[in-house]
A and B are shown apart, each in its own frame.
Chain A
Amino acid sequence: MLEENVIWLDSPDQKKFTSFRFYTELLDELSDYYRSGFYNGGPPVIALDRSLKIDPVVLPLLMALGAFLKEFHKQRVTLELDNDLHSNGIIRFLEQSDFLHIAGDNENPTWPIGKRLFNFNRSAIGHFSTKGEIRSDHRLHVYSKVDAGLRHINLIENLEKRRDALIEHYLYKTGNDFEGLISEIPTSSTIRNELVQTMAELITNGIFHSDSDVYVMMFNNRYKTTCSIADIGKGLHESLKTKPPTPYYTYGVLTAELVEKVTLSMPKNVQQSAFAIFETFYYSMLKDRQGLFDLMLNVVLGCQGYFRLHFESVQVIVSSRMLGQLNVLAEIRNDIYSLQGRQKAFKEPFGDYDRAMLDYALVAKTAMVNLARDIFQKYSEDVQFSAIRLFRVKLRGVHIEAEFPKND
């Protein structure tokens, strides 16, 4: 709810503040604010209503928004906390999940050091009721390129090696940071391992590609484990543009095809963001190392989970509902990866390899276009349960949620 320059976050009728509400309501109100007469060059105030029930996976998004607004306005956004000493559960949650420590200017090393993204009244924190324990594991984490632990890794010149070193570092780190939550998931140790690896790779992607801080929250409830990762980096276009062209891939080749094949009408910038997601998957699918595409397949096919990727104003939700098409893609990916393995191991001539890759790239392109067309087709039939969501307002950076249902 926007009132003058204050955006109220609340939960009327106990309606949880989810990432969907974040992308629709909050971002919309924010854009309304900038168009309203109350905008005088300063950032809006974000006020938390006492009724607010927040979905923990929104915390990284709020953090990313705070970081973005601070960068834009060169000043911090004010967060208004209303503590009536009685119904202050939301403030208690934000404090105990380390959100307020990271968002503010905390310098006490007992908690994460503050990133100074929000202004808030510190005296409003406290006098919490002790009713109902909040899990100490449910904490927001922030990872940054300037962390002391990365000092040596940042010096590695070879990009592939630096990436491997980053993944390795975050394997240990996520193992430590999320051990309690992950060990509780009633599944095999292989899947748990996969989860740690997934987190490590997602954080690495954020740090490696976007050069921004990465905010991570992992949350367990009775039905699922969700991890949410947000950055405000340069985004998919910019990182794809820097890739050197190969005989079988040049930047924009899939987008060009999608522009032709997808008939759904949407604003140009929305279309660009949407196609960039598929372009990224396609690029990653042709690559000679495992990356985002394999990760997505692993979450959906390996762990029966959901993979939601939000970029600018589009969110794509990959789930087992697209099993048929994903299996086709997985098979092509396997063939490509084996071919690349054989080329490296047996030193097959590059000409043959390029020709074979070119064939695979065409097959992969068709399969990817089919997936995209299907998703857009279903969107025009049924917006609410569609695998793609188009939002009015865009938020910079890449935001990923991976959700693992508990099948017990």
Chain B
Amino acid sequence: MVISKIEHNGFLYFDVHAEQSYTGSFLADTGDANNNICEGIYGSELTAETLRNITDEVALYKGKTIILDFSKIKDVQSNLFNTLIEIKEHSELLVLTEVSAHIVKKCNLGIFDQNKPGEGGNFESFVLSRNIQYITLKDTNELFYEHFSTLLVDCTITNEGEDAFRHNSPVYVPKFIDIKGMMTNDSNFYLYILYRLALSIKEKFAEDGSGAQPILFCQNLNGAYNAAILSRFLNYDLLSMDHIGPVNKVYSSIGNKIKEEARYIVISDVVCLGTEIKICQNIINYSGGRYIGNASIVKIETLKKEHQDNDSVSVFKITKENNPIEFKIVTALA
């Protein structure tokens, strides 16, 4: 199984580091109690199993150009040459992008000597072919967002009239983003979404000099699903408190769950007005923990840039300019 495959104009794109992170987080652990293997997104070495999974996926297609993005891969397991050749044979053309000279040498790919290295000896793109090939590649970020938008549009439910009433916030929301739908419609790609979220979390929150890792805090079922996977990718602990948002509950014994002075990141699915995040923030801070921010799949930017808090990361932001699902928040006043 692969998570990062995106098909576009006869090309199949794979993010090799995402695949490696998936292997390292979920497949490498062999179930031996003495052996807890979880490399998460921190591994940068491509291993045989990951490449084997990509090969199996490519074998399902015919005549595609395969693009393997090596940008975050620093090293490879030895003897991957045969598997790379197998992928090449299943495809029209095999291209490795952002690949280092070290990897080219180690994979014995020097035999494709028409590829010319760029500055520093690395290759922006490396074609496994004897002939010089000119191909135009699409930016992988752009591809990701296109693919994400399509999935988002497919999984948005329109709730007109009475249905737009929300019990938890005093506003009407006529569009409902069905995150569960996204999880089930394309569960592999959803893992890729979480992988990208994990990268952003690591970049924004990882280091504060104390050496202690932040703890993921989740507050509903979707958040718990996300946090469970993120905690493997990031190797962070997680704390789950269900039903903080929509249901009015009195928490009388929350204090003993929150570790004093530990840093917490609230994980959710969609952040709309941020009411639930605020509740979580209060619970965490009141109990002696430190709320350091939140992470979500989709965030609705209801405020102008200058008024926004700088404590959140998300995979996709819905803004005035970027609103493929025509999301809106309505009150009885307007």
* Contacts from A to B (Cβ < 8 Å): 109, 147-153, 160-161, 164-165, 167-169, 171-173, 175-176, 189-190, 193, 197, 201, 289-290, 294, 337-338, 340-342, 344-346
Interchain CB contact (< 8 A) of A167 among B33, B48, B112: B48
Assuming the contacts A148-B34, A149-B35, A164-B48, asked whether A345 and B77 have C-beta atoms less than 8 A apart, the reply is no
Question: Complex: how many Å from CA A149 to CA B31?
Answer: 6
Question: Complex: how many Å from CA A4 to CA B82?
Answer: 58
B contact residues around A149 at 8 Å (CB): 30-32, 34-35
4 other A-B residue contacts (CB within 8 Å) besides A175-B43, A338-B108: A148-B32, A164-B48, A165-B48, A190-B74
B contact residues around A167 at 8 Å (CB): 48, 77-78
Contact across chains for B79 and A190 when beta carbons are under 8 A apart: no
Contact across chains for B30 and A193 when beta carbons are under 8 A apart: no
Q: Is B130 an interface residue (CB 8 A)?
A: yes
Question: Complex: how many Å from CA A337 to CA B107?
Answer: 10
Question: Main SS of the interface on chain A?
Answer: helix
4 smallest beta-carbon distances between A and B, as pairs: A149-B32, A148-B32, A149-B30, A164-B48
Interchain CB contact (< 8 A) of A152 among B30, B35, B39, B45: B30
A contact residues around B82 at 8 Å (CB): 160, 289, 344
Contact across chains for B79 and A289 when beta carbons are under 8 A apart: yes
Closest chain B residue, CB of each to CB of A164: B48
A304 → chain B, closest Cβ, in Å? 17
Contact across chains for B128 and A168 when beta carbons are under 8 A apart: no
* A/B interface sample: 30 pairs, CB < 8 A: A147-B32, A147-B35, A148-B30, A148-B31, A148-B33, A149-B30, A149-B31, A149-B32, A149-B35, A151-B30, A161-B48, A167-B48, A168-B47, A169-B28, A169-B30, A171-B77, A172-B39, A173-B35, A173-B37, A175-B39, A189-B74, A190-B75, A289-B78, A289-B82, A338-B111, A341-B81, A344-B81, A345-B85, A345-B112, A346-B111
B96 → chain A, closest Cβ, in Å? 14
B172 → chain A, closest Cβ, in Å? 51
Interchain CB contact (< 8 A) of B111 among A173, A176, A190, A341: A341
By size class, the interface of chain B is 20 to 34
Q: Is B49 an interface residue (CB 8 A)?
A: yes
Contact across chains for A342 and B111 when beta carbons are under 8 A apart: yes
Contact across chains for A193 and B111 when beta carbons are under 8 A apart: no
B contact residues around A151 at 8 Å (CB): 30-31
B224-247 contacts to A (CB < 8 Å): none
B contact residues around A346 at 8 Å (CB): 111, 130
Closest chain A residue, CB of each to CB of B88: A345
B contact residues around A153 at 8 Å (CB): 30
B81-103 contacts to A (CB < 8 Å): 81-82, 85, 88, 102
A192 → chain B, closest Cβ, in Å? 10
B contact residues around A338 at 8 Å (CB): 108, 110-111
B contact residues around A161 at 8 Å (CB): 48
Closest chain B residue, CB of each to CB of A151: B30
Interface string of B248-280 (1 = CB under 8 A from A): 000000000000000000000000000000000
